[in-house]
Structure 1
Amino acid sequence: MQLPDAAVALLESASATDAKSIEQLATATDEKPETLTGAAFDLEADSLVALEERVEVSLELTDEGKRYREDGLPEVRLYRAAADAGAADDSVPMGQVIAASELEGPEVDIALTNFARKGLGFIDSGELSVNADADPDSDAERAALDAIADGDADGLDDDTVDRLVERGLVEQREQTHRFVTLTDDGVTALMEGVETAATVGQLTPELLTSGEWEDVEFAEYNVEADAEPVTGGKTHILRQTAESVKDTLVGMGFQEMQGPHADADFWINDALFMPQDHPARTHWDRFTLDTDLMTDLPDDLVGRVEDAHRNGVGPDGEGYHSPWSREFAEEVALRGHTTSLSMRYLSGEEIGDLEPPQRFFSVEKVYRNDTLDATHLLEFFQIEGWVMAEDLSVRDLMGTFEEFYAQFGITDIEFKPHYNPYTEPSFELFGTHPTTGEIVEIGNSGIFREEVLSPLGVECDVMAWGLALERLLMLMYGFEDIRDVHGTLCDLDLLRNVEVLA
């Protein structure tokens, strides 16, 4: 029997009693693993070898997992700080414990969530107490982190491992290994003798011009063998939905806005009548950039906005009577909403003064220091829009939403009154998830307050909204977790095969 070089080498190195991996055979034959894999598939088709696939699961700590292994899990650090503050005897203020624990940013929410889940203590009305019977030294998740780091993950509780993976502290990797065993036919072929066939796998110009192609033996190809799937590029479903939203809004008479992702806090918050001591303007929610201040702000407009913050607008205006600093207004941050673009356009700074009626929108990325979960991301797309006209009402705003969402087959929009520092009246929008039946918040809206419009020089009504593109996607396609379509956890097969809605 004549066979290609790699097939002969594989047959001669394989065993009828012990399954050998492709990697072991590659070492024994000095052939490339991918070459032997192809040869193994050919020999399996001829019943000369049996192929077995084994999936090996390995666990590895993420950077966050390594940090928590070194510094301690946030919930354990919170427990120890609370215990040191006497929370075993009497409850203590939560803020005091958080400060003593030196937890920062998202770690605080992580600690509070897992503190209660693990029974380490209790939280009630801003007060925190610890469970004296809890033993943080025997924390199963911390022990699992140590075991995984030491390469001794065998025997770990599956639920504990799943929890660590869910928390993003451990990464689970799967690797497929193929093992080869000689069949009876393969043993018989070896006993009868196999020879290397001088075959040619590809017809070249040299073979044609020299005429040697008439004398060589060409390798046989199994045209029925499974081939590796080839997937071409495809526009991401989120981008497709964004383009569909843009087309819809343009069809409704809107023009598109564009502007910087990193902007002065003045445009992001101050122009929106957001007080400078508002919690959303701290590091808890905002990404500040370590860069030069944006000092080229329009002085007249800055003065009017500052006056609105300090004294209010009109005879009944109160203002906030809270600290206001131009230096803070000049700080540069990643925009937490695209309403910064609305402020630039409404003020006339972007494209000049606008006369009503006007309609503008944007579908752009925004950034917030949120805790990642099924409906929240650190960066996401916001559908911003506003209408400038005389005598606008809430009915106009609600009618606009109903017309917009109807274009995407969503007709059960619900409205709930809400408070915003920059709109009055204000309300949130909700839709019903088609799979779970849950009510999902999909946006926020209202009519800009006089304290926002007057400093900008706008003398008519402006109704505005910020809608979440990803939430719209969830209602359209039934996705239950944003991370299924956005970010490192997205399912590539789902994205390749999901039906595109018109």
Structure 2
Amino acid sequence: MKLPEAQVAVLNTASADEEQTIERIAEETDLDPAAVTGAAFELEDEGLVEIVERTSDDVSMTEEAEEYVEEGLPELRLYEAAVSLGADEDAVQLGQVIGEAGLEGPAVDIALSNYARKGYGSIDSGEITADPDADPESDSEAATLEAIAEGSVAYQSDLALEDLEKRGLVERSETTIRSVLLTDAGVTELMAGVEVAETVGQVTSDLITSGEWEDVEFAEYNVEADAEELTPGKTHVLRQMSERVKDVLVGMGFQEMQGPTVDADFWINDCLFMPQDHPARNHWDRFALDNPAKIDDLPEDLVERVESAHREGVGDDGEGYHSPWDLDFAKALALRGHTTSLTARHLSGEAMGDLEPPQRFFSIEKAYRNDTLDATHLLEFFQIEGWVMAEDLSVRDLMGTFTEFYEQFGITDVEFKPHYNPYTEPSFELFGRHPETGEMIEIGNSGIFRPEMLEPLGVDCDVMAWGLALERLMMLVTGAEDIRDVHGTLLDLDYLRSEEVIY
């Protein structure tokens, strides 16, 4: 029997008694694993070998988990410190126990969130107690991490692995392992003798010009064989959506604006008539910078007008906020919480000089907020900023703009809900219907800028503006239900490789 060289090599290496993996055969024959796989499938079609497939779950630890293997899980360290300070008898000050445990930074929150979950004790009103009957030696998550570190699976349980995976301490992947086993027919052919057939895999120009193609034996081409899976690079689904949004807005007569990602609170909030004691401006909701911590200078005349608007309002009936206003706070640098800071820079003339109406500008840039992560919120997201400067603008103009914009994406079910913003009046939230769940999800915020914002910036006509979420638009267009699938630490690579716009 004559067979191609790769098939002969696989047949000679395979065994009738013991399964040989593709990787082992490739190593012994010095063939590429893909070539061995192809030859094995061809031999299986001839009934000479059997291919056995098994699925293997691979588990690996993250760098954070490796630290915990050395130092112990934060909640266990907290428990041990609490017991050492007598918290198993009487409540102890939480800060004292945290210091004793040597916990700092994110490890503190991790310890606190898992301490009660695992039943090690309770935390209430700044005091901590420890359950004297708790047994940290039997902690399944700690035991599982130790087992993984030692290369063992003896102590791993599905529940512990799931918990560790949720905590971002382990990563699991599924691998298909193929092995080859000789059949009776394969053994018979080997005993009868198998020779290498001189076959040609493809026609070349040399074969044609020399005429040798008439005499050579061509290898059979299996049209039913699985093609090699390729994952070529492609434009990210959010980038695709961003480019499409840009094309639509440019087609509607808008021009793009750009500006700094890190900016002074003055441009991010003060120019928007956002009071400095607003809850959204405290250190819990913004990402402030330490180095540098402040901007060097701000336009003095503009600062005076903005401060006056905050303290006294504008116009004869102006009230202002009568709340603290501090120049140092205005100079503080932070990651912008919205891209409306770009709008403030342009309307004030800081970005491009004075602008005469009519004007239409937009941007598609990142914003950063300390939000709770869920299916529609991330710590960073893309905002579609836009504004129109013109005389005698009304709510009808604003709604009409949105209707025209969303119709370009096949979205016609858009609803408006009255809302409050410090810098727009009237203000509206926008909602769109998700094509899969049927729910109305928030997709943006909009309104007409208040005089308290426009007058200090030197604008004496109407300006309507909006901030739309690019990720939410993508959800309405593609049917995606969780923005964490497309960017962030939990993104779904299979989704990114295969997803097409279907709505």
TM category, shorter:
0.7 to 0.9
Q: 1:62 is matched with which residue?
A: 62
Tell me the equivalent position of 2:382. 381
Give 2:415's aligned residue: 413
Question: What percentage of residue pairs aligned between the two structures are identical?
Answer: 61
* 1:35 correspondence with 2:40: no
* Corresponding residue SS for 1:413: strand
Paired position in structure 2 for 1:24 = 24
Question: Number of aligned pairs?
Answer: 495
- Residues 451-495 of structure 1 show CA distances to partners (whole Å, capped at 9, x for unaligned) of 432321123343332221112222333322112233564445544
The answer to whether the Cα contact below 8 Å between 2:276 and 2:324 also exists between their aligned partners in 1 is no
Alignment-derived partner of residue 46 in structure 1: 46
| Displacement of 1:330 | 6.1
8 Å Cα contact 1:266-1:329 kept in structure 2: yes
Q: Which amino acid aligns with 2:501?
A: V
Q: How far off its partner does 1:343 sit? A: 1.1
Match of 1:316 among 315, 319, 341: 319
Q: Tell me which amino acid in the other structure corresponds to 1:417.
A: H
Shift of 1:275: 5.3
**Structure 1 residues 436 and 222, CA gap change in structure 2 (3 angstroms):** closer
Instruction: Quote the offset at 1:346 in angstroms.
Output: 0.9
The letter for the 1-side match of 2:463 is: V
Amino acid at match of 1:257: M
Relative to structure 1, the CA distance from residue 290 to residue 489 in structure 2 (aligned partners, 3 Å threshold; closer, same or farther) is: same
**Which amino acid counterpart does residue 283 of structure 2 have in structure 1?**
T
Offset of residue 191 of structure 1: 0.8
Quick one: which amino acid aligns to residue 472 of structure 1?
Answer: L
Summarize deviations over 1:309-344 as a string: whole Å, max 9, x none: 566555522453144317x6263x443321121111
CA distance in structure 1 between the aligned counterparts of 2:467 and 2:142, rounded to whole angstroms: 41
Tell me, in whole angstroms, the C-alpha distance in 2 between the residues paired with 1:162 and 1:211: 64
Change over 3 Å in CA distance of 1:477–1:27 after alignment to 2: closer
Q: Which amino acid aligns with 2:413?
A: T
Structure 1: gaps of 5 or more residues: none
CA RMSD of aligned residues (A): 4.0
| Residue segments in structure 2 that go unaligned for 5+ positions in a row | none
The amino acid of 1:471's aligned partner reads: R
Closer, same or farther in 2 for the Cα pair 1:384/1:115, shift >3 Å? farther
Inter-partner Cα distance in structure 2 for 1:484 and 1:45: 40
1:141 partner letter: E
| Structure 1 equivalent of residue 481 of structure 2 | 480
CA distance in 2, matches of 1:103, 1:440: 38
Distance, in Å, in 2 between the alignment partners of 1:53 and 1:440 is: 44
- Once the two structures are overlaid, the 10-residue window that deviates more, 176-185 or 213-222, is 213-222
Name the CA shift for 1:335/1:66 in 2 (closer, same or farther; >3 Å): farther
Q: Could you tell me how far 1:55 is from its partner in structure 2? A: 1.8
Shift of 1:414: 4.8
**Change in 2 beyond 3 A, CA 1:347/1:64:** farther
Q: Distance in 1 between matches of 2:78 and 2:442?
A: 31
Counterpart-to-counterpart distance in 2, 1:443 and 1:120:
44
**Equivalent residue number for residue 471 of structure 1:** 472
Q: CA-to-partner distance for each residue in 1:26-80, whole Å, 9 max, x for gaps? A: 3333333333222212211211111112221111122333345556656667778
Q: Please, what TM-score do these two structures have when normalized by structure 2?
A: 0.81
**Letter aligned with residue 323 of structure 2:** Y
> Is the contact made by 1:285 and 1:370 (CA closer than 8 Å) also made in structure 2?
no
* 1:222 corresponding residue in structure 2: 222
Seen in structure 2, the aligned counterparts of structure 1 residues 465 and 85 have a Cα distance that, compared at 3 Å, is: farther
SS class of match (2:460): coil
Query: What's the offset of the Cα at 1:15?
Result: 0.8
C-alpha displacement at 1:96, in angstroms?
A: 10
What is the distance in 1 between the residues matched to 2:232 and 2:328? 53
Mapped to 2, the partners of 1:421 and 1:95 lie a distance apart of 38
Q: Which whole-Å CA distance do the structure 1 matches of 2:272 and 2:111 have between them? A: 33
TM norm structure 1: 0.81
Tell me, what secondary structure is at the counterpart of 1:325? Answer: helix
Matched residues in 2 for 1:470 and 1:237: separation? 10
SS of 2:327's partner is coil
